[in-house]
Amino acid sequence: MTYLLISIFILTVVLYFVRKTSDLNICPICVATVFTWSLAFIAAAFELLDISPVLISLLMAISLGATIQKYGSKLGLFWKTSAVLVGFPAVYLVSQGDFLKAVLFGFALVVFTILSFVFSKEKNINDKFEECC
C-alpha cells in the first residue's frame, strides 16, 4: 500500500507542475490515481509484483465514482446506470483477483460509454478540468 500511495503522491506533484507549465488541462490527482492503479493492475495480472488486488480495486472504485460524478450529467441516466452496473462487477472481480473477467466488464463499460457519447443530446461535450481541481 505504501508504494501505491507514494506513487500517487509523486505523480500528483509532477503532474501539478506539468499542468502549471504547459497547456495540458488535466486533473493531477485523477491522472495519478488512474495511472497508479493501471500499472498495479497490469503488474498483478501478469504476476510481476505481489500487489493486493483489494488495494487496486479500491483505487479503481475511487476513479469510477469520480468519473460517474464528473460525466454523469453530460452522458445521462443510461450511462450512469451502465457505469454502476458494469463498473461495480469489474471492480469486484479485480478485488477477487479475476483480472480477465474484470477486463471484459471494463470493455463493456467502454462500449456503453461510446454509445452514450454517440447518442448524447449534447453534441459538444467539452471536458473542463477547471471545475475539478
pLDDT digits (tens, 9 = 90+) for 20-44: 999 888 899 999 999 999 999 999 9
**CA-based torsion, 47, 53, 59, 61: positive or negative:** positive
Mean pLDDT of all residues in 98-102: 95
Residue 125's pLDDT is 47
> Long-range contacts: 29-35, Cβ < 8 Å, 24+?
29/133, 30/63, 30/66, 30/132, 30/133, 32/7, 32/8, 33/8, 33/59, 33/62, 33/63, 34/63, 35/11
Query: What does pLDDT average to over the chain?
Result: 89
pLDDT digits (tens, 9 = 90+) for 53-66: 999 999 999 999 99
Cβ count within 10 A of residue 112: 19
